[in-house]
């Protein structure tokens, strides 16, 4: 069963700020990951959130298994994304 993707306002703003090709790559990968989250997402050390790697970009999510939802919290380039999580 496919999980539903839910985006935070922050993640939507970050997604629209990216160029169209990068945004499309991220959305395509998120759509594929929604069908089998444990295969695609890797848990962040010491946190409840997980990450999805897409080239040089990362998507930070919180998977809600009971509700079959993936909450997209933040996304961006790998050199900046983890600084925003503190």
Across all residues in the chain, what is the average pLDDT? 93
pLDDT at 63: 87
Could you report the per-residue pLDDT of 37-79, keeping only the tens digit for each?
989 999 999 899 999 999 999 999 998 878 899 999 999 999 9
pLDDT at 85: 75
pLDDT tier at 84 (50, 70, 90 boundaries)? confident
Q: Please determine, for residue 28, whether its predicted confidence score (pLDDT) is greater than 80.
A: yes
HEC secondary structure over the chain: CCCEEEECHHHHHHHHHCCHHHHHHHHHHHHHHCCCHHHHCEECCCCCCEEEEECCEEEEEEEEHHHCEEEEEEEEEHHHHHHHHC
pTM of the shown model: 0.90
Q: Which CATH superfamily is domain 4-85 in?
A: RelE-like (3.30.2310.20)
Query: What residue spans define the domains of the chain?
Result: 4-85
């Amino acid at each position: 069963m496919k999980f539903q993707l839910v985006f935070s306002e922050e993640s939507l703003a970050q997604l629209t700020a990216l160029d169209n090709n990068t945004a499309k790559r991220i959305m395509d990968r998120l759509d594929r990951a929604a069908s089998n989250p444990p295969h695609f997402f890797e848990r962040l050390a010491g946190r409840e959130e997980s990450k999805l790697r897409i080239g040089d970009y990362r998507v930070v999510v919180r998977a809600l298994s009971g509700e079959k939802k993936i909450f997209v919290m933040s996304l961006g380039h790998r050199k900046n994304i983890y600084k925003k999580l503190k």
